[in-house]
Amino acid sequence: MDMNTSGITQSQTMIHSVEKAKEIVRRVFHAYSGSLAVRFWNGETVELGAGSPRATVIFRAPGPFRELALFRDPLRFAEAYFHGLVDVEGNLFSVLEQKEHLQSLSFSAPESFSLLAAALLLGNGLDERGNPPVEVRRSKEWPVRPSRKHSQAADRKAIAFHYDVSNDFYGLWLDGQMVYSCAYFENADDSLDEAQRNKLDYLCRKLRLRQSERLLDIGCGWGALICWAAKHYGVQAHGITLSRNQYEYARTKIREQGLEKQVTVELRDYRNVAGEAVYDKIVSVGMFEHVGLKNLPLYFRTAHRLLKPDGLFLNHGITHDEEGWRKSHATTFINRYVFPDGELDTASNVQRVMERSQFEILDVEALRPHYALTLRHWVSRLEQRREKALQYVDEATYRIWRLYMTACALEFESGGAGVYQILASRRQPGAAAVALTRRDLYDRPCGQPRSDAFRPPTKSGGTPYSYPESTVLQIHNLSGIRHGT
């Protein structure tokens, strides 16, 4: 066979495969009401739905298209995108929103057979030039295989995989204080920096922080909260992390702000924090997701051990709408590419473990819409800084993060994931360590502690106390109710 004949045959094969692919697309999206486009490996584009397409999905070879058509598996699509075999131009959110559409499709037996036959005839996986498609560069070893051991060594390795990507990379899309958790939006149009300042202060208010109290931050990240609490509330703050990058950054930040006498940070596993009743207040933000479900009792018992009898513990973390951490497309993707060994549970199960660890739950607040907004900010900022991001990470890592955060935003918006702040104290007789209402959380400017903050009983024996006017009731020795003066 001469070169001309070979070229003609190859061209005919490509045309045939594209026609089969267009047939599949038209059947799958025959009742589609959105606006999307699909571009095939020969450059042809098919527009779907009504109006101008919000995004174009680009298949660089028949293989990934065939995989998606045969299995309707979003994980296969994600992996093809990471490898550069599939691309997305435009709004990635509008593409991922098709997951429910694809998974809800139902075909008759003849229709299913016809689609299967068309998919199997798609060709050999060559691109428009007749060459195997080139995968994007990747410097990181992935996918990873989760250990699920949650030993200290395994947890250090998992934390390094996620958090030690690059401080510069995170800095491109996080706020100015490098807060990597759900922000708190008082208004939907708040800037990310403003919403993260709101969140830091809201945590301090919920903890009712007071001058000179000792605060422990379990999983302190890049140190934003411990610095904020020391600077605005006068506490002695200590943070622990397993991430070397976060530790080095936090130390520098503490030094730059002149907080060395108030704030300390160390590389330490929560299981190795020594002492009994050491801290007035303990906070953990976005950390317990890494603990592992089997270790949640140990995690909460450790916080209970370290907390003073009249102290407060605030756990801020992501939850799932299903019990346990069963294997699924979503859980496999997260553990394989983003959070090795990360596990979520329902809010009710988390509270049950806390109560069995002798905590009394004082307040529970759901912040699910706030995380959806936060993630949309992160995705937008990352996309706007793509070229800069590629100076710090490879193309595959950029794609993983873009897809991961987009999918997470949609998961929070749909209710599949939640985020809760759970405030608790050690279970004991007497009054709780908070005021009777939440009014003290909302009635002052950001960063300004209350001068009359509620002060819970600290002595045994029912000795009377003098209380601010905002506190109207106080229990003494469980023997009756007395009005505060």
Is pLDDT at 464 greater than 50 in this prediction? no
Q: Which residues pair with 424 in a beta bridge?
A: 313, 361
Q: Are 249 and 275 within 8 A, CB to CB?
A: no
Task: Compute the average pLDDT of residues 432-456.
Answer: 71
- The CATH code that applies to domain 3-120 is 3.30.1050
What pLDDT shows up at residue 14?
62
Position with higher pLDDT, 328 vs 315: 315
Name the residue with tokens 């997470």.
408
Q: Report pLDDT digits (tens) over 141-174.
A: 555 565 566 787 777 777 877 778 899 999 999 9
Tell me, what's the pLDDT at 113?
A: 66
SS3 174: coil
Phi-psi category of 49—alpha, beta or left, where left has phi over 0 and alpha has psi -120 to 50?
left
Q: Are the beta carbons of 219 and 203 closer than 8 angstroms?
A: no
3.40.50.300, 3.30.530.20, 3.40.50.150, 2.10.109.10: which CATH number matches 152-426?
A: 3.40.50.150
Catalytic positions, written as ranges: 408
Distances (CA, A) of 343 to 205, 292, 336, 367, 445: 29, 6, 12, 19, 36
pLDDT digits (tens, 9 = 90+) for 203-230: 999 999 999 999 999 999 999 999 999 9
Give residue 425's pLDDT. 97
At 162 the three-state DSSP class reads helix
Q: Where in the chain is the domain with CATH 3.40.50.150?
A: 152-426
Is the bond preceding residue 369 a cis peptide, omega within 30 degrees? no
Q: Where are the alpha helices (DSSP H) in 174-273?
A: 192-206, 224-233, 244-256
- pLDDT category at 81 given cuts 50, 70, 90 is very high
Task: Give φ, ψ of 104 to 5 degrees.
Answer: -90, -5
Q: Between 344 and 452, name the one with better pLDDT.
A: 344
Interval 369-409: pLDDT, tens: 999 999 999 999 999 999 999 999 999 999 999 999 999 99
Measuring CA to CA, which residue among 72, 77, 85 is closest to residue 27?
72
* Cα three-residue angle 192-377-346, rounded to 5 degrees: 95
Question: CATH 3.30.1050 region(s) of the chain?
Answer: 3-120
Percent of the chain whose predicted confidence (pLDDT) is above 90: 56
Most confidently modeled of 64-68, 126-130, 441-445, 464-468?
A: 64-68
**What is the Cα–Cα distance from 436 to 455, expressed in whole angstroms?**
12
- pLDDT > 70: percent of the chain: 78
Bridge partner residues of 263 (DSSP): 237
The pLDDT value given to residue 136? 54
